[in-house]
Amino acid sequence: MKLFEEFIIDGIHLKNRIVMAPMTRARAGEQRIPNDLMVEYYTQRASAGLIITEATTISEQANGWLHSPGIYTDEMAEGWRKVVDSVHKKNGNIFLQLWHCGRASHSSFHKGAPAVAPSAIKINGDYIHTPTGKQKYETPKALTLEEIEQTKLDYRNAAQRALDMGFDGIEIHSANGYLLDTFLQSKTNHREDAYGGSIESRYRMLDEVVRDVTSIWTANRVGVRLSPNGVFNDMGSEDYREQFTYVANQLNNYGLAYLHVMDGLGFGFHELGEPMTLSEFRKVYKNPIMGNTGYTQELAEKALQDNSADLIAFGRPFISNPDLVERFKSNFPLNPEADMSTWYTPAGKEGYIDFPSANIQ
């Protein structure tokens, strides 16, 4: 099966084409420092061809989720070094996903300073979990040009820390209604300067972030994640097809490690037209493509066989099956899906590192 074939990213030999998707698990504590619990969690899953870490914030201003890890202090970086070293000892490969929550945040995460976004447009949602409990979403502050420059520097500094800590590469989170996604989409970007007003200008922020981090990493060690069909965090734009086709076409020029496309509809669908498919992206993007969201082993194999994708990311199955690769290979039944109440538990191993392996010989 093609799913178990080796794949090479810039000299990195992925043992298979099964990727552990980035999944926020909220185990890093209030200080956002990766810990021994996280070391065990990622090491258990090192048989994946590639692990993409949970979303990791690039600055204090980027925070917007309780107990998620960061990469903007020396202590955070050293915590990640322990994870990386342990995964490498198991012959695993691991990329760090860089995250800025943007408007999907709250002032209580930033000592009273407002969340930021391309434009001052509030999420149409019920509430957000904050350090002070459930709160209503607030209207974010539109970033100034000077603040955009600082944000880009934060991405660059995070990329440098990831390189220093021994990661195999990085992924830029530009999906799911977080900062870079909101720059891309006309629903959330109403700017009239060089960062908005047209498909080309809305792409500029992502392009400049990619350019900055590829001054530190070679481009074929950098991935980008997109969610063209998603509604998460109140997203979905009328011109989504034109926007994301343009983005993919432009990113094609970099020679990235992969383009990570959330083509499945498990995060919801904006229903503004037909969903964008991997085969649609393949027409304009000639470098490696990673599919994600709702894939079974069978659907993943089909996508690889018809050349719609080169890699497939699995999320929920990896939560309750640390040995997912081995189970797939042996057609062994999967563990029951983890109780959703344990997905984001602030502390403890329950629903995190306590799932049984199949002990397949």
Tens-digit pLDDT profile for residues 57-68: 999 999 999 999
346, pLDDT greater than 80: no
Q: What local confidence, expressed as pLDDT, does residue 347 receive?
A: 65
Beta bridge partner(s), residue 223: 171, 258
pTM: 0.98
User: What is the rounded average pLDDT of the residues 205-209?
Assistant: 98
Domains and CATH numbers, the chain: 2-342 (3.20.20.70)
User: What is the rounded average pLDDT of the residues 328-351?
Assistant: 89
CA distances from 122 to 66, 118, 189 (A): 20, 11, 11
Instruction: Classify residue 84 by burial, with Cβ atoms within 10 Å: 0-12, 13-18, 19+.
Output: buried
Alpha helices for 193-239 (secondary structure H): 199-213
Q: What local confidence, expressed as pLDDT, does residue 153 receive?
A: 98
Let me know: does 4 contact 47? Beta carbons within 8 Å. no
361, pLDDT greater than 60: no
Tens-digit pLDDT profile for residues 253-282: 999 999 999 999 988 999 999 999 999 999
Tens-digit pLDDT profile for residues 12-36: 999 999 999 999 999 999 999 999 9
Q: Are strands 289-292 and 258-262 parallel, antiparallel or unpaired?
A: parallel
Tens-digit pLDDT profile for residues 124-160: 998 999 999 999 999 999 999 999 999 999 999 999 9
Position 249: which residue type?
N
Q: Picking from 104-113, 178-187, 219-228, 335-344, which range would have the lowest pLDDT averaged per residue?
A: 335-344
Tens-digit pLDDT profile for residues 71-82: 999 999 999 999
Q: What local confidence, expressed as pLDDT, does residue 360 receive?
A: 61
Residues assigned a catalytic role: 178
CA-to-CA distance for 10 and 99, rounded, in angstroms? 23
Tens-digit pLDDT profile for residues 157-198: 999 999 999 999 999 999 999 999 999 999 999 999 999 999
